[in-house]
Amino acid sequence: MNFKETTQNLLKELAPTIEKFTWKDWLWTISLSLVILWGMYALYLQIARGHEVTGMRDNVVWGLYVANFIFFIGISYAGAIISGILHLMNLEWRKPIIRIAELITVIATIIGPLYILLCMGRLDRLHYLFIYPRLQSPITWDVIAILTYLVGSVIFLYLTLIRDFSILSTQQLNIGLKRKRIYRFLSLGFKNTSEQKVLLKVSTNIMAIIIIPIAIVVHSVLSWIFGMTLRPGWHSTIFGPYFVLAAVYSGTGVMILAMYFFRRLYGLQRYITKKHFVYLGYIMIMLGAGYGYFTFSEYLTDWYSSEKWNTELIDKLFNWQEYGGLFFFANVAGILLPFIVIGIPKLRTIESITLVSALMVLAMWVKRYLIVVPTLETTLIPMQETRPEYIHYTATWLEWALTFAGIAAFILMFKLASKFIPIIPIWETSESIKKKTSAIDTNVDLKSVTHA
Amino acid sequence: MLNLSKTSVLMVFATVMSFTGHAQVAAEASLTYNKLKDNNVLLRAVLTDAQESEPLANIELGFYSIQDTISTSLGKAISNEEGVAVLQGLSFESLLQKQDHTFIIAVEVLDENYQLTSREFTFSDVNMQLSFDEIDSVKQIVVTISTWDELGNLVPLEEADAYLYVPRMFSLLPIGDVYTDEEGQGMLEFPTDLPGDLNGGLEIIAQIEDHDEFGNVAVSESVNWGAPVTYETSKLPRALWSPDAPLWMWITFIVLMVGVWFHYGWVLINLRRIKYHSSDSELINYED
C-alpha cells in the first residue's frame, strides 16, 4: 500500500467525525453550553453587583480565579512538551497524539487568561494594561509573555494543519462547498512540492524550537508574580522552575485524559494505543519525580528556617482543621499515586493510567489553590477586630459557576475543533504507518534473500 | 485649625438633676473657647455623667450667645463617644459683646432625659499683635497683648504668657514663649537657622493657651526671617520603583521580544512563500 492509499484509508476512517454532527455531538454541545450560560449569569451578577458577590476580600484578594488561571496556563504546556520536544526528538509514536497536544495548548492559553479578567474589579480599565504598561511589573511581563505564547502556539498548530487542510480540500468528503473552500484557503495551496516541503519543514522546526523557551518563560513569569512578592510561601527563588515543572506535569496528565476521551468517543483505538498511554505515563512519572523533589525542597526550607510567617503557613497546611486534607490529597494523588500505578507493570493499563492522571490533574489544581489562598490568609500585619470572612476565604457559588464554565468552555472548544479538523493528523500518521509497513516489507525481503 | 488655636481653656462645671417623671441623669459640662488665627471661633464642650464621670455620648447640645435678655442661637452639635461636642466655623463677630468686650456663651442639653437649664460661661476678648524688630542683626519678635477695661478703653495685659510657633509639615514647631511686662509686651530672640520658603518666608503664630479668662487665642503674621530654601527636583534614577525601568531590563525585554517575533515573522514569510510555490495542479504530490 503506497502513501496515498494509506492517507485515503485513514481519511475514510476519520471522515465521519468531520462530516457529521451527530445527536451525541449536539447533546455534548448543549450540555456544555448550559454550563457556560450558568457561568455567564454568574459573571453578569459579578459585574452588576461588584466583587462583593465573590469570596475575595481585602486580605484574600485572589481565590479560585487565580488558581484556575495558573492551572490552565499550566496544562497548555502539554503542547510545548509533546509537540515541541517530541517533534525535535523525531519520535514516531508522537504523531497520532500531536494534534491533541497542540489543541490543548491553544485552547488552554485562550481560557486561562480569562480568569485574570474575572479578578479585575474594573474591567473597563483593561486597556490601561496596554496604554500604561510598567516594564518593572511582573503583571506586564505576564501579559506580554502570554500573548506571545498564544500567537506562537496558534502558528505552530497551523503549520501542522496545512498538509491536512490540503488533503481535506482535495478529497471527496461530504462537507459542503463552503467548508471545502475554507480548507482550500487555509491550505495555502500546499501540494507538497519540493520547495513547499522544505519551507514547511524549516518553519515547523523553528516553531518547535522557539515554542519551548517561550513556554518556559511564560510559566516562569507567572511564577514570578508570586515569587517576587514578599509573602510567606511565595517569596522563593525555586518558584520559577517549580512552576515550569508542575505545569508540564499537569499538562501531560490532561493530555492523557484528552487521549482517552477522544479514543473512546471517536473509536481511535487503532491509532491511540496502549503504547501512547504508557510512554506518556513514563514521561509523567519522570516529571512527577522532579515535581516531588521541588515540593519537598520548598517545604523543607520553609519549615527548617522556622521564620514566623512561614511557620504559620506550614502549620495551616499540616492542620487537618484547616488545609491538612487538601494538602495531603495534593501530595498523595499528585506525587505518590502516579508512581505506584505506572511504576508497577501489573497496574499499568489504559484505564488505570487515565484514572491516576485524572486524580493527578485534580491534585495539581488543589495545589494551585494551596499556593494562592493559605498564603493570602497568612498576613504579615496582624489583623485585629476584622470580620472572619476578611481573613478566611470561602469561594461563593458564582466563583464555582465560572470555574465550571471555564472547564466546559475548554471541553466545548476542543469538541468543536475536532469537528472541523481531524483530531489525528492524517498526513503525519500516514507517514508513520507507511514507515512501519516499509520496515516490515524490508524485513520480509531480507528474510527471503537470506533463505534464498 | 484646631491645633493652631489650642491655647486658653475655660472649664466650668455644671451639675444638673432633672425630675421629669422618669430616671434622670445628672450631667456635667465644660466648655473650651478657641479664637483661631483666622478670627473664627471654635467651641468645644465636654459632657460627662456627674456621678460616674463617664462621657455622655450621642447627646445633642445647643450653643447660644447671650447679652442681657437677648439669646442668639449659635448652633447645635452632638457629643461623640468621648462626650465631646464641637461647634466650628463661627465668626467672632457673631458673638454678642458688652462694652468691655466680654461675652457670655451658654450650653444647653437638648435631650429630655438630660433636661438642663442653660449653663453660662463668660469670656473676655483680648487683642494680641505681633511685630518684628531687627537691631544689630539680632531679630526679635515682639508680642503685644492688650485687653479692654469697663469703659471700653484698651489697656496693656501684664503677666500673661504667650507661646510662639512656626508651622511645619505635620505640626507646630515651638520656638519659645514670652511673658508680658507692664506695657503688655514680651520679646523673643528669633533663631537664625529656621528654613523658610524660597524667599525665606515664614509664618509665626502666637497663642495664649488655656487662659481662664481668654480661653485659647491665636494670631499669626508672616515674615521673611527664615533661611531661603530651594527645593531642586532631581531626576529619579532608573529603578524598579521609579517611572523608568532599569536599562538592563529594557535590553533584556527588547532582545527577547525581537528574537521571538523575528522568528514568527520568518515563519509567516515562509507561509507566504508556500502559497507562492503552489502548483496549479489539483493533485497533491504524495511522493517523498
- Mean pLDDT across the stretch B132-136? 88
Separation of alpha carbons A303 and A371, rounded Å: 15
Q: Domains along chain A?
A: 3-435 (1.20.1630.10)
pLDDT band for position A268 (50/70/90)?
A: confident
pLDDT for position B14: 40
Which pLDDT does position A451 carry in this prediction?
55
Between B250, B266, B279, which is nearest A135 by CB?
A: B250
For the B127-223 domain, the top CATH level (class) is: mainly beta
Do the chains contact at B264 and A217, CB–CB below 8 Å? no
Interface ipTM = 0.87
Which residues does chain A have within 8 Å of residue B263's beta carbon, measured at their own beta carbons? Answer: 206-207, 210
Residue-wise pLDDT for B16-63, tens only, equals 443 444 566 778 888 999 998 888 999 999 998 877 888 889 999 999
Residue A291 · residue A330 · CB < 8 Å:
no
B76, B62 contact by CB (below 8 A): yes
- Return d(Cα B172, Cα B4) in angstroms, integer: 8
- Sign of the CA dihedral running A67, A73, A79, A81: negative
CB-count burial class (<10 Å; 0-12, 13-18, 19+) for A279: middle
SS3 at position B97: coil
Q: Is B247 on the interface with A (CB under 8 A)?
A: no
Check residue B205 and give its pLDDT. 95
Assigned CATH for B3-124: 2.60.40
For chain B, give every domain's residue range: 3-124, 127-223
Q: Does position A90 have pLDDT exceeding 50, yes or no?
A: yes
pLDDT number for residue A266: 83
Interior angle at CA B259, CA B258 and CA B261, nearest 5: 65
Burial of A237 (0-12, 13-18, 19+ CB in 10 A): exposed
- Note the pLDDT of residue A300: 92
Name the minimum distance, in Å, from the CA of A86 to any CA of chain B: 20
DSSP-H helix ranges across A267-333: 274-305, 308-318, 324-331
Beta strands in B136-254 (DSSP E): 138-148, 154-156, 161-167, 172-179, 185-189, 202-211, 215-223
Greater confidence, A174 or A163?
A: A163
Q: Between chains, do A144 and B257 touch, taking CB under 8 Å as contact? A: yes
Confidence of residue A45 (pLDDT cuts 50, 70, 90): very high
Average pLDDT taken over every residue of chain B: 84
CA distance A1 to A18: 25
Hey, are the CB atoms on B263 and A203 less than 8 Å from each other?
no
For B240, the closest chain A residue by CA position comes to A136
What percentage of chain A exceeds 90 in pLDDT?
51
The whole-number pLDDT of residue B7 equals 33
Task: Look at residue B8 in the predicted model and tell me its pLDDT.
Answer: 34
Question: How many Å is the maximal CA-CA distance in chain A?
Answer: 94
Answer yes or no: same fold for B3-124 and B127-223. Answer: yes
Mean pLDDT (whole number) for B254-264: 94
Four-residue CA torsion sign, B223, B224, B227, B230 = positive
Report the distance separating Cα B284 and Cα A167, nearest Å. 8
Are residues B278 and A192, on separate chains, in Cβ contact within 8 Å? no
